[in-house]
Amino acid sequence: MESIKFPTVDAYLNTLNAAQRAKADDMRLILKKAVPEAEEVISYNMPAYKYGKVLYYFMVHTKHVGFYPTNTGIEAFREELAAYKTSKGAIQFSLDQPLPAELITEICRYRFLEEQSKVKKKPKG
Compute the mean pLDDT over every residue in the chain, rounded to the nearest whole number.
93
* The dihedral formed by the CA atoms of 83, 31, 101 and 77, expressed in degrees to the nearest 10: 40
pLDDT of residue 125: 52
- The pLDDT tens digits of the residues spanning 44-68 come to 999 999 998 999 999 999 999 999 9
Do 87 and 73 form a contact (C-beta atoms < 8 A)? no
Q: What pLDDT band is residue 4 in, cutting at 50, 70 and 90?
A: confident
In order of their start, the domains of the chain are 9-120 (3.90.1150.200)
pLDDT of residue 69: 97
Q: For the full predicted model, state whether its pTM sits above 0.85.
A: yes
pLDDT of residue 3: 81
